[in-house]
Amino acid sequence: AQSVAQPEDQVNVAEGNPLTVKCTYSVSGNPYLFWYVQYPNRGLQFLLKYITGDNLVKGSYGFEAEFNKSQTSFHLKKPSALVSDSALYFCAVRDGGGGNKLTFGTGTQLKVEL
Amino acid sequence: GAVVSQHPSRVICKSGTSVKIECRSLDFQATTMFWYRQFPKKSLMLMATSNEGSKATYEQGVEKDKFLINHASLTLSTLTVTSAHPEDSSFYICSAMGTGGGGYTFGSGTRLTVV
């Protein structure tokens, strides 16, 4: 079985400061990892994904994430947060060994304040 | 990039009636579509997976006779909530995977309110 943990329900950060949203995962095969962002009453927007290759993945809107196999983590980061980054962020995993179902974490509400 | 159109975005219906939600892939062929339900401030719960031309695979605990899924073409999947009740009120989101298999594109969601 595959699973994702997002340990923080909410993260608060001041605009201009770096932000980190944490994610750890569990899969039996090689992980395919994704980050999505959701604004109120909207679907999910793709930010970035890791399938193979470089452990540091750069995505949309200045976000990046680092795949750490030993810690089974895939934390989302941004060097300088914007108020407009305030939204709900989901980490998701798919087992690369088979199947195409995505399993989502519980989500982390990011609040960026002036 | 890949776009998935989902509509309606909002629907209010009376208890006992049925509601159909459509999900279309606009610029790619969606071999697989996924339907999710999201409760307020909660994660997405996968309801079912559908492959074009075959019956949907429902997750444990999801009533297949209540949530009818049809994936008759490579660009269209529908979710019909039959005999809706207030507890079916939720935010429903579809997602499509193309023939390449690597990525998932999400619809913008449907807010269903059953009164």
CB < 8 Å to B6, chain A:
43
pLDDT for A43 equals 86
pLDDT band, very low/low/confident/very high, at B2 (cuts 50, 70, 90): confident
- A41 to chain B, any CB pair closer than 8 A? The answer is yes
Nearest to B109 among A42, A104, A105 (CB): A42
Q: Are B96 and B33 in contact (CB under 8 A)?
A: yes
pLDDT in tens, B65-105: 999 999 888 899 999 999 999 999 999 999 998 776 657 99
pLDDT for B43 equals 85
**Per-residue H/E/C for A12-63:** EEECCCCEEECCEEECCCCEEEEEEEECCCCCEEEEEEECCCCCEEECHHHC
More confident residue, A23 or B28: A23
Least confident of A102-111, B57-66, B93-102: B93-102
Among the listed residues A70, A76, A28, the one whose alpha carbon sits nearest the alpha carbon of residue A50:
A76
Test B95 with A42 for CB contact under 8 angstroms.
no
pLDDT for B40 equals 79
Test A102 with B46 for CB contact under 8 angstroms.
yes
CB < 8 Å to B34, chain A:
101-102
- If you ran DSSP here, which 8-state letter would residue A2 be given? -
- Min Cα distance B16 → chain A (Å) is 25
Q: Are A43 and A57 in contact (CB under 8 A)?
A: no
pLDDT for A99 equals 75
Positive or negative: CA dihedral A106, B67, B91, A99: positive
Test B41 with A100 for CB contact under 8 angstroms.
no
Among the listed residues A44, A37, A48, A41, the one whose alpha carbon sits nearest the alpha carbon of residue A11:
A37
> Percentage of chain B surpassing pLDDT 90?
73
pLDDT in tens, A46-97: 999 999 889 999 999 999 999 999 999 999 999 999 999 999 999 999 987 7
Asked if the model's pLDDT at residue B1 lies above 80, the reply is no
Q: How far apart are CA B89 and CA B115, in angstroms?
A: 9
Q: Are B108 and B6 in contact (CB under 8 A)?
A: yes
pLDDT for B102 equals 59
- Residue B79, classed as helix, strand or coil, is strand
Residues 6+ apart with CB under 8 A from A40: none
CB < 8 Å to A103, chain B:
46
